[in-house]
Amino acid sequence: MEDKLPQNEPRLESILIGSREIDLRVHEMAREIKDDFSEGLCLVGVLKGASVFMVDLARALSLEGVRGITFAFVRASTYGDGIKGENESGRYVKLDMLGTKIQSPNILILDDILDQGITLPSIKDRIKAEYPDAKIRTGVLLVKELEKPSPMREKFQPDYVGFTVQDRWVVGYGLDAGELFRELPYIAIANEKMF
């Protein structure tokens, strides 16, 4: 099926990454990841944005022969329900580990997108503190190219990256704008003025 924007939807501008392209890249990422892990891998998804990416990646990892995959989720609240906060420096991450207990020797923390690099490094630090002996890696579907990256962002490089995107608000494939558009099978650019 061809990707199509919903009709009469002024909140979406254009399709940035099509569903087929995402699918191919997720399978490529699975091949990169499987080379780095032997058996026993806990995928830790950052709710809610990483959920779609995580289940697709898990199935791709299974096709690549990775065994002993388990799922865990954590919840991070950064922006609230809107688009970007006006005062980036005043942002903080509220983490809820949702009672997560990880047994695997290998942990791969997955998020939908790396923006200012506040969310993922905080989650990684927290998990590292709780599981000091685990091999911990991070993966994101998207990385935002920023004109003025924060110091946190400059210090942090995820181990696996799907695509680099321009500094626009993007939705679809799990990513939302005000909780909407997570179900789109592609990544689309939102019209920021409409939110």
CB of 8 to Mg ion, least distance (A): 28
CB of 12 to ligand IMP, least distance (A): 12
Amino acid at 124: K
Helix/strand/coil for 10: coil
Q: Note whether 49 binds ligand IMP by CB under 6 A.
A: yes
How do 69-77 and 160-165 pair as beta strands?
unpaired
With residue 53 as reference, give the H or E element that holds it.
helix 51-63
Which residue from 13, 29, 42, 49 is in contact with Mg ion, where contact means CB under 5 A?
Answer: 49
- CA 75 – CA 2 distance, rounded (Å): 33
Within a 13 Å sphere around the CA of 113, how many CA atoms are in the beta-carbon half? 21
DSSP state of 65: T
96 is catalytic: no
Beta carbons of 150 and 116 less than 8 angstroms apart: yes
User: Mask 59-98, x = binds Mg ion (CB under 5 A)?
Assistant: ----------------------------------------
Residues 113-142 that bind ligand IMP (CB under 6 A): 113-119
Footprint of ligand IMP on this chain (CB under 6 A)?
A: 46, 49, 78-79, 111-119, 169-171, 175-176
Footprint of Mg ion on this chain (CB under 5 A)?
A: 49
Query: Would you please indicate which residues are annotated as catalytic (active-site) residues?
Result: 115
